[in-house]
Amino acid sequence: MKESILKSVYGQDVKLMEVCGYEVAEAFSDYKSEYEAIRKNIGLVDYSNFGIFKVSGEDAKDFIQKLTTRDFEYLAPEKARTALVLDEDANVISLVHVFNLETYYYVLTDIQHIEKTNSWFTKHIFGDVSVELLTGKISAISIEGPKSWQIAQNFLPYDISAFAFMNAIEVTYENQKIVLSRFGFTGEYGYFFFAPAEISKNLWNKILELGTDKGIIPCGMSVISSCMLEVRQPDINTEIVEGSNLFETRLQWLIDFTKEEYIGHDAIMKMMDESPKSGVVGFSVSLDAKVEKGDSVYVDEDVIGKIICTYESCSLNKKLGLVLLENKFVAVGLVLDVRGKSGENVQINTLSSPYIIPESWLIKMV
């Protein structure tokens, strides 16, 4: 099992889990404390075992263009963008976050799709393109929360308010170049640090030190997943349902439809001509309700869908989830019956997203 290069600074109380051969911090403390840190203060998260690729060479931009669903032709240096990587039939290879650092690109994807993405990239290299998998060689450290900008300011040579969402720049720390991006997954102010392995532990500890009086604590992947759902941040590990296409899983916003040349384009155009058979919508239910992934959803005695995922929302004091329904039932404000493995009937309420309003949306950097 591959360990994070930051494992030695985790502390003794961390709960670890294995994901596709990689060791990941699931939790550092109790769930509620980590949730409160992200939603009220600052959560410190280790993404170092995610897939981190460096794409460089004269043809790097054309390579990114060919393999992704968004248009990177005019993406300015020091900017970032999220896209999908598809195969020829528009099946999802991975969801990627691409950072343009002028002379090279960083491409970030989740752990579950590292190997598949690496193989796909390698298969499609052409011209003057170099693709290097940096996972295990550099760290990816994130701070997220309404106070996180106060820490990020210490690493910027100018006022933090000028550092816009999806910006990405090289800065100097400990006499070495690191990449800092305003980017995150939870809807709060978020910042990502990509740093060489030899200074990563120092950087982690420095961030903790800077956040001592701001309520910062390390947070694991468990709480990140629920925070992502609350603001409907896409998680393809739960939302890609076998037999459903990108329009049915509501991921079409990650496609630039005016872009004409990329792998999967023709299949996407064909999907646009077809009426969706199903669709994904959010729902809420009481915390004590026994609703699980795979449970069937009914109208009268007819099965009309199934539960995709559920997570606890401390803000709402409810369970939130996603459900895949027959297309005619994809609407908000519905009350639907779920019958789970326990045999118990539970009623869920369909919702529009976002399901909470993050505090960061309501405050300004001062």
Q: Taking a C-beta distance cutoff of 8 angstroms, is the pair 290, 342 a contact?
A: yes
Q: CA torsion sign, 293 to 91 to 63 to 134?
A: positive
Question: pTM value?
Answer: 0.96
Report pLDDT for 243: 80
Every domain of the chain with CATH number 3.30.1360.120 lies at 2-228
- Is the CATH code 3.40.50.360 the one for domain 2-228? no
| CB neighbours of residue 161 within 10 Å | 11
Helix (H) or strand (E) holding 109: strand 104-109
Handedness of CA 322, 323, 327, 328 (dihedral sign): negative
Per-residue model confidence (pLDDT) at position 349: 98
DSSP string, 337-362: EEE-TT--EEEEEEEPSPSS--GGGT
User: What's the rounded Cα separation, in Å, for the pair 40 and 43?
Assistant: 9
Three state DSSP letters for 229-281: HHCCCCCHHHHCCCCCCCCCCCCHHHCCCCCCCCCCHHHHHHHHCCCCCEEEE
* Residuewise pLDDT in 10s, the chain (366 residues): 999 999 999 998 999 999 999 999 999 999 999 999 999 999 999 999 999 999 999 999 999 999 999 999 999 999 999 999 999 999 999 999 999 999 999 999 999 999 999 999 999 999 999 999 999 999 999 999 999 999 999 999 999 999 999 999 999 999 999 999 999 999 999 999 999 999 999 999 999 999 999 999 999 999 999 999 999 999 999 888 878 899 999 999 999 999 999 999 999 999 999 989 999 999 999 999 999 999 999 999 899 999 999 999 999 999 999 999 999 999 999 999 999 777 789 999 999 999 999 999 999 887
> Rounded CA gap, 105 and 75, in Å?
11
**Parts of the chain belonging to CATH 2.40.30.110:** 277-365
Among 280, 277, 192, smallest CA distance to 235 is for: 280
pLDDT for the residue 240: 86
What is the token pair recorded at 5? 């290069």
- What confidence score (pLDDT) does residue 241 get? 82
Q: CATH number of 277-365: 2.60.40.1080, 3.40.190.10, 2.40.50.320, 2.40.30.110?
A: 2.40.30.110
pLDDT computed for residue 343 by the predictor: 76
Lookup result for tokens 């309501």: 362
At 87 the pLDDT is 97
Q: How many Cβ atoms are within 10 Å of 218's Cβ, its own excluded?
A: 23
* Cα 84-45-311 angle, rounded to 5 deg: 70
Q: If you count them, how many residues does the chain have?
A: 366
Question: How many H-runs (helices) and E-runs (strands) does the chain carry?
Answer: 8, 19
